Amino acid sequence: MSLEVKEKTQVRIVFLGAAGVGKTALIRRFLQGTFEPKHRRTVEELHSKEHYIGGVKMTVEILDTSGSYSFPAMRKLSIQNSDAFALVYAVDNPESLNAVKRLRDEILEIKEDKHAPIVVVGNKVDRDKERQVSTEDVLATVEMDWNNRYLEASAKENVNVVELYTELLRQVNLPSRLSPALRRRRETFPKDTHFRPPMNKTNSCILS
């Protein structure tokens, strides 16, 4: 007797990261197709949107969290109640990348799942002239050491915003998040400037 695995039709994605890295902007770009350049502090906001993936209609809940205020209990509850995680840093802010590492460690501890669906997002690639974080270094660490997905995005210029949500939903609903399949998927990643395949691990890593 074969058992069918029922795929989820309601998914909650939480955006985590330091203040000012563009979490709200990425959410606004996806939900409304707009960009607001002025930074607005967020405590916690929950959004909902219907989305089709693989022909299946899904309700996607998107939780926008604070990077300005420290609410450990609220953050823990957000992680416990979420299915997938977008860890956002800004390519012109190295300290925001350190925050991503701390948040990832917290997710793995709370969820007790080393394969938790996580995408690390280097936002604000439109500020490439002010870039202080190397794509190669982060890519090597995130995809080779952490076994998570990495992409670079721009809420301002709408770069890889839809791809971010699609990847998170794929990881939640398909067994492809397991490491062997994840490695196979990497071989098919598009080779463009901001959505790049893994590199040889000889690159030095900015995270440890």
Q: What is the distance between the alpha carbons of residues 50 and 65, in angstroms, rounded to a whole number?
A: 21
Residue 202 lies in a domain: no
Longest CA–CA separation in the chain, Å? 59
Strand pairing of 56-65 and 44-53?
antiparallel
Q: Residue 50 has what pLDDT?
A: 85
Residue 112 lies in a domain: yes
Residue 105 belongs to domain spanning: 10-186
CATH code, 19 = 3.40.50.300
pLDDT string in tens for the chain (208-residue length): 444 445 567 889 999 999 999 999 999 999 999 898 776 766 678 899 886 766 778 788 999 988 766 678 888 999 999 999 999 999 999 999 999 999 999 999 999 988 899 999 999 999 999 999 999 999 999 999 999 999 999 999 999 999 999 899 888 875 444 444 444 444 444 444 444 443 333 333 345 4
> Are 15 and 63 contacting, i.e. CB atoms less than 8 angstroms apart?
yes
Q: Residue 7 has what pLDDT?
A: 58
Evaluate if pTM is beyond 0.85: no
Q: What is the pLDDT of residues 47-87, one digit of tens each?
A: 998 867 667 787 889 999 887 666 788 889 999 999 999 99
Q: What is the distance between the alpha carbons of residues 154 and 17, in angstroms, rounded to a whole number?
A: 15
Q: How many contiguous H segments (helices) and E segments (strands) does the chain have?
A: 6, 6
Residue 203 lies in a domain: no
Q: Please tell me the total count of domains within the chain.
A: 1
Residue 201 lies in a domain: no
